[in-house]
Amino acid sequence: MTTVRTATPEASGSGREDGLTEREAELKALAERAGRDLEDASAPEILQWAADTFGKEFCVTSSMEDAVVAHLASRALPGVDVVFLDTGYHFPETIGTRDAVEAVMDVNVITLTPRQTVAEQDAEYGPRLHDRDPDLCCALRKVRPLEEGLTKYAAWATGLRRDESPTRAGTPVVGWDARRRKVKVSPIARWTQDDVDAYVAEHGVLTNPLLMDGYASVGCAPCTRRVLEGEDARAGRWAGRAKTECGLHG
Ligand code: SF4
């Protein structure tokens, strides 16, 4: 396993009016075309396309809620990089899931850590920033590290699903990530929770033990609670606040 403490990447140059390099413009067109062509493709087909198109320039990101997308991707691209953001605030069960994925699956887990430890962040911003300004905390501990950690890839895969919340209902199976200038692949966008459960059962895929303990979506410990009956899967994230996303997928 590799642990990377993130730092500022070098800026990429561009001579185009839209600010994209020629390569980025090609990737954007490719993403938009693939989003249309692969809308009805299966998750393995979408991941095989990504593996064949991008090879080692393709990675999967995982919150270690489950290893479904990592498992699917490892079949298309054995040894695929699986990028995990260690915010310093995870449940022990999440770190254990990460370690188990690394031990039993044909993947290369890369752990990204923020520039500052929690103690360093507390010293600069005061303790419990997640209670006072969760957007800033997520920006420092999730959004920026991922941006910096993804620079070497042309495409990344997520486990986003359209049925998770209204904010994710329009997720394309392949799209252009304008913020990071990468192709963003969401191979299970069209899946339901039942599809996930069936895949986990059929293939014995690792899942976070907290999913068996009332949590429907697993994030940082200070910002995650169990869901109540009838709530959507992400209702336990930043409960009681207007915030519903960490900013990784905006
Ligand atoms: Fe901070 Fe909470 Fe965001 Fe984690 S989910 S980075 S603890 S605000």
Which residue do the tokens 């590799």 mark? Answer: 2
Query: How confident is residue 8, by pLDDT bands cut at 50, 70 and 90?
Result: low
Query: Which range of residues forms the domain containing residue 202?
Result: 19-208
Q: Judge whether 219 lies within some domain.
A: no
Ligand 1 site-directed mutation target among 6, 87, 95, 248, most atoms within 8 Å of CB = 87
Q: Give the Å distances, CA to CA, from 210 to 33, 146, 245.
A: 38, 24, 20
Q: Judge whether 78 lies within some domain.
A: yes
Residue 59 falls in the annotated catalytic set: no
Q: Judge whether 218 lies within some domain.
A: no
Cα 176 to averaged position of ligand 1 atoms, centre (Å): 25
Q: What is the pLDDT of residues 174-232, one digit of tens each?
A: 999 999 999 999 999 999 999 999 999 999 999 999 999 999 889 999 999 998 887 77
The separation between CA 42 and the C-alpha centre of its own chain, rounded to angstroms, equals 20
Q: Judge whether 157 lies within some domain.
A: yes
Nearest-atom index, ligand 1, CA of 140: 6
Q: Judge whether 7 lies within some domain.
A: no
Give 184's strand partners. 156, 175
Q: Judge whether 154 lies within some domain.
A: yes
Distance CA 209, CA 229 (A): 19
Q: What is the pLDDT of residues 63-74, one digit of tens each?
A: 999 999 999 999
Is 157's pLDDT higher than 70? yes
Of the candidates 161, 206, 173, 191, the one whose C-alpha atom is nearest the C-alpha of residue 64 is 206
Q: Judge whether 184 lies within some domain.
A: yes
Q: What is the pLDDT of residues 24-47, one digit of tens each?
A: 999 999 999 999 999 999 999 999
Residue 173 in contact with residue 39, Cβ under 8 Å? yes
What pLDDT is attached to residue 239? 74
Q: Quote the number of domains for the chain.
A: 1
Residue 225 in contact with residue 92, Cβ under 8 Å? no
CATH of the domain at 71: 3.40.50.620
Of the candidates 93, 129, 90, 134, the one whose C-alpha atom is nearest the C-alpha of residue 113 is 90
Catalytic residue among 173, 174, 246, 248: 246
70 is written with which tokens?
């990592």
Q: Judge whether 43 lies within some domain.
A: yes
pTM: predicted TM-score of the whole model, two decimal places: 0.90
What pLDDT is attached to residue 11? 53
95-127 core/surface letters (b: 16 or more CB in 10 A; e: else): eebbeebbeebebbbbbbbbebebeebeeeeee
User: Looking at ligand 1, which residue's alpha carbon is closest to its atom 3?
Assistant: 138
